[in-house]
Amino acid sequence: MRSFLTSPHSPTPRIDLDETVEENGPIQPDQAREDLRQDPYPLPKEFEWSLIELGNAKECTEVYELLCANYVEDDDATFRFAYTADFLKWALLPPGFKKVWHIGVRVASNKKLVAFISGIPAQLRVFDHQQTLVEINFLCVHKKLRTKRLAPVMIKEITRRVNLEGIFQATYTAGAYLPTPMATCRYYHRSLNPKKLIETGFSALSRNMTMQRTVRLYRLPAETFIPGIRPMVETDVPQVTALLNAYMKRFSVAQVMSEEEVRHWLVPARGVVYSYVAEDRQTEKITDFVSFYGLPSTVIGNTVHNQINAAYMFYYVPKGLGEDLKRLQSLIKDALILAQQASFDVFNCLDLMQNASFLEDLKFGQGSGNLHYYLYNYRCKPVPRDGMALVLL
């Protein structure tokens, strides 16, 4: 999950979902470099800023350990996201990444990493306007240092460093409701290993259901359905890029990816991102694409299962670019089968893009929380769920 907070200084729209907004546009104008603050914001004296080198195994492990013990938990403190070190490198080192946006806070005396925030560049289209902005993620303060107002300083500092690179807009998501989201989505979960999910408390056995009947309910075919579906390989990148950008035109808010970005984000990397294409056997052209990423969660204090292995829907393109909802359903069903074969316990997605069309038929259950999408320093009219096509990690 992603996270970012607005501070009192954040120019996000203050009014509730404003249906009257007709013009997209920045809330505050860009500032000249010389008018920006040149020095880092001061931290309380026992702490210091530290740039994190994610390519360095030791520093990457430090971030991994910080997040593993202190990052987002569910409301009952039963599960906590456990982003792996490989995942963090994938998430934070895309084309055009900037080390200055991988910001750590250390204890000055012993150099222990106690807080982190990050940004990565992306091209985002919001209605008919496209621009570079940053995606903010992985804001985390060590549990022992909470409520010391470190988070607002970290947010101001990353904003300053992003501004110094000539970027004045950002996007981020949070479970918390802050003024004012551009879109609000719901999480949905599809059990792949219902027995384990019930044993960990992730899901509950429904009334009138036995474990055996539940297992049968969620059983999937052993074989995929779409002919010619196979793992994506590097040589598929140009075709997948073209298909993805064509399909994304359906939606109001979408990332625009270059071939270089598709290579980074979508060529499979074991344990991190899984992508498949379907190829027409006669024309040898790719017709469909589907991907998901792997994000385990620690099961806090469970002696039998210490992790849930969750797959999260990433991007997809069904044959016919979304006109044929039956084909989309077959594609996603194949993704469920492939995720189960890759040992995932649950398949999660939001109700964005065209997902609402298959959730019920494919036996997804509604999750408990909302995920709100925010734009920093940009105003636009509210985006319905089926107009949203941005997936943040």
Ligand X SMILES: CC(C)(COP(=O)(O)OP(=O)(O)OC[C@H]1O[C@@H](n2cnc3c(N)ncnc32)[C@H](O)[C@@H]1OP(=O)(O)O)[C@@H](O)C(=O)NCCC(=O)NCCS
Using CB under 6 A as the binding rule, whether residue 149 contacts ligand X is answered as: yes
By beta-carbon proximity to ligand X, the closer residue of 291 and 298 is 298
By beta-carbon proximity to ligand X, the closer residue of 8 and 29 is 8
Tokens at 18, concatenated: 């404003």
User: Whose structure tokens read 């903010």?
Assistant: 136
Tokens at 369, concatenated: 């929380």
By beta-carbon proximity to ligand X, the closer residue of 70 and 159 is 70
Measure the CA–CA gap between 179 and 351, rounded to whole angstroms.
Answer: 21
| Number of chain residues interacting with ligand X (CB under 6 A) | 21
Using CB under 6 A as the binding rule, whether residue 33 contacts ligand X is answered as: no
- Of 312, 346, 317, which Cα lies nearest the Cα of 226? 317
Q: Is 177 helix (H, G, I), strand (E, B) or coil?
A: coil
Using CB under 6 A as the binding rule, whether residue 29 contacts ligand X is answered as: no
* 22, 381 contact by CB (below 8 A): yes
Using CB under 6 A as the binding rule, whether residue 338 contacts ligand X is answered as: no
DSSP summary character for residue 300: T
The residue range among 41-49, 147-155, 230-238, 315-323 that interacts with ligand X, by the rule CB under 6 A, is 147-155
The residue range among 134-142, 236-244, 272-280, 328-336 that interacts with ligand X, by the rule CB under 6 A, is 134-142
Q: Is 277 helix (H, G, I), strand (E, B) or coil?
A: strand
- Least Cβ distance, residue 115 to ligand X (angstroms): 7
Helix axes 259-266, 237-248, angle to 10 degrees: 100
Q: Strand pairing of 273-279 and 388-389? A: unpaired
- Least Cβ distance, residue 136 to ligand X (angstroms): 10
The residue range among 4-12, 226-234, 243-251, 363-371 that interacts with ligand X, by the rule CB under 6 A, is 4-12
By beta-carbon proximity to ligand X, the closer residue of 82 and 277 is 82
- Least Cβ distance, residue 360 to ligand X (angstroms): 29
Q: How many C-beta atoms lie closer than 10 Å to residue 197's C-beta?
A: 21
User: Residue 235: CA atoms inside 13 Å, Cβ hemisphere, count?
Assistant: 3
The residue range among 5-13, 17-25, 128-136, 259-267 that interacts with ligand X, by the rule CB under 6 A, is 5-13
User: Whose structure tokens read 């080192």?
Assistant: 93
What is the C-alpha radius of gyration for the chain, rounded to an integer number of angstroms? 21
- Of 82, 217, 86, which Cα lies nearest the Cα of 140? 82
* 359, 333 contact by CB (below 8 A): no
DSSP summary character for residue 223: S
Rounded-to-5 percentages of helix, strand, coil across the chain = 25, 30, 45
- Least Cβ distance, residue 5 to ligand X (angstroms): 4
Q: Which of 111, 112, 148, 216 binds ligand X (CB under 6 A)?
A: 148
Q: Which of residues 59-88 bind ligand X (CB under 6 A)?
A: 70-72
- Least Cβ distance, residue 3 to ligand X (angstroms): 3
The residue range among 133-141, 320-328, 336-344, 358-366 that interacts with ligand X, by the rule CB under 6 A, is 133-141
- Least Cβ distance, residue 322 to ligand X (angstroms): 31
- Least Cβ distance, residue 374 to ligand X (angstroms): 10
Q: Is 365 helix (H, G, I), strand (E, B) or coil?
A: strand
The residue range among 140-148, 280-288, 344-352, 380-388 that interacts with ligand X, by the rule CB under 6 A, is 140-148
- Least Cβ distance, residue 130 to ligand X (angstroms): 27
By beta-carbon proximity to ligand X, the closer residue of 72 and 162 is 72
Using CB under 6 A as the binding rule, whether residue 176 contacts ligand X is answered as: yes
How far CA 152 is from CA of 49, 157, 178, 377, in Å, comes to 14, 9, 14, 16
Q: How many C-beta atoms lie closer than 10 Å to residue 392's C-beta?
A: 19
By beta-carbon proximity to ligand X, the closer residue of 73 and 165 is 73
Q: Which of 54, 140, 248, 375 binds ligand X (CB under 6 A)?
A: 140
Residues in the site for ligand X, rule: CB under 6 A?
Answer: 3, 5, 7-8, 70-72, 139-141, 146-152, 174-176, 178
